[in-house]
Amino acid sequence: MSKDSDPYLKLDHIAKSFQRGSTTTEVLRDIHLSIANGEYISIIGHSGCGKSTLLNIIGGLTPVTKGAVLLQNREVNSPGPERAIVFQNHSLLPWLSVYDNVAIAVNKVFSGRKSRAERDEWIKHNLALVHMSHALEKFPSELSGGMKQRVGIARALSLEPKILLLDEPFGALDALTRAHLQDSVMEIHSRLKNTMIMITHDVDEAVLLSNRIVMMTNGPAATIGEVLTVPLARPRDRLALVSDATYTQCRAAVIEFLYARHKAPSLVA
Ligand SMILES: Nc1ncnc2c1ncn2[C@@H]1O[C@H](COP(=O)(O)OP(=O)(O)OP(=O)(O)O)[C@@H](O)[C@H]1O
Ligand SMILES: [Mg+2]
């Protein structure tokens, strides 16, 4: 039974090692974190430290070696529609239209609960959330990178996930498209109030979007080095924040962690 005092999502002393022949690589060690319902968490850390591994563990795609992921006090160790993942490389099915790429997820999860007309409305509603209503019949090859990413986000949202897991969702996009999508994600988060966990390499993106930023130490055996709370009110406006002292302080704290105290291994002299 879950109690009110229990965290919504708990990463309970998670460790992960990969085995290759007789060699064991310890990637994550003692990852411990409680996340509240509706929080926006960013995970930041140098390349190869184990961020994707951690996200895949939360998504139930990778088994833990030690510890557990607890969602409302229940262990989750396999994928489920309540935890949707958006990958960095937009994973749309190229032979399906924008509409059908979302429909395939909706039909799978809601076929017993929603009528055909309700599902059609729901598919269109989610594509409208990411401003893609004008391209329902288009195929992935006809879309820009940002548009494909938006469809990927719509597909993930259409599952009504309690938790949306985003692995560098804007990594491959140009700066303007990236800013636009960040704004869309903030808008969706404020409207749906779901829990978001996002991996990023971008310090400004982490500060702009997050309630808390989880900073990871370098691998092997990476763990959480520090967790920074971002006490900025919402809605947040990127232009106004440029000259905001709290924003600047948060930014400086993350940069200090990543580039002074925990330099990328290849950059340490
Ligand atoms: N299936 C696997 N088998 C063996 N080793 C793996 C496997 N998946 C990941 N690793 C190793 O675990 C470490 C962490 O990888 P991971 O992809 O989680 O890093 P990351 O922090 O997401 O990096 P990046 O920022 O470059 O995406 C790496 O050393 C990687 O080689
Ligand atoms: Mg990764």
Q: Where are the domains of the chain?
A: 37-64+76-82+163-269, 86-160
Give me the pLDDT at residue 130, please.
83
User: What tokens were used for 142?
Assistant: 């006809």
- Residue 209 confidence class, pLDDT cut points 50, 70, 90: very high
User: What tokens were used for 222?
Assistant: 């990476």
Q: What is the mean pLDDT of the chain?
A: 92
In this structure, the residue with its CA closest to atom 27 of ligand 1 is 47
Q: Are 164 and 157 in contact (CB under 8 A)?
A: yes
Pocket test for ligand 1, best of 16, 18, 29 (most atoms within 8 A of CB): 18
pLDDT over 60 (residue 1): no
Q: Residue 126 carries which side chain, given as an amino acid letter?
A: N
pLDDT over 70 (residue 12): yes
Residue in the block written with tokens 């232009």: 239
In this structure, the residue with its CA closest to atom 17 of ligand 1 is 52
Q: Under CATH, to which class is 37-64+76-82+163-269 assigned?
A: alpha beta
Query: 11 C-alpha vs ligand 1 centroid, how far in Å?
Result: 19
CA pair distance 97, 29, nearest whole angstrom: 42
Q: What is the mean pLDDT of residues 59-71?
A: 96
Q: What is the mean pLDDT of residues 39-59?
A: 96
Tell me how crowded residue 176 is: count the other CB atoms within 10 A of its CB: 9
Q: Residue 117 carries which side chain, given as an amino acid letter?
A: A
Residues with Cβ within 8 Å of 41's Cβ and at least 6 positions away in sequence, in order, are 35, 195, 196, 197, 198, 210, 211, 212, 213, 214
Give me the pLDDT at residue 3, please.
61
User: What tokens were used for 150?
Assistant: 């938006």
Query: 20 C-alpha vs ligand 2 centroid, how far in Å?
Result: 20
pLDDT over 90 (residue 75): yes
Name the least confident of 63-72, 126-135, 204-213, 243-252.
126-135
Give me the pLDDT at residue 177, please.
79
Omega within 30 of 0 (cis) for the link into 220: yes
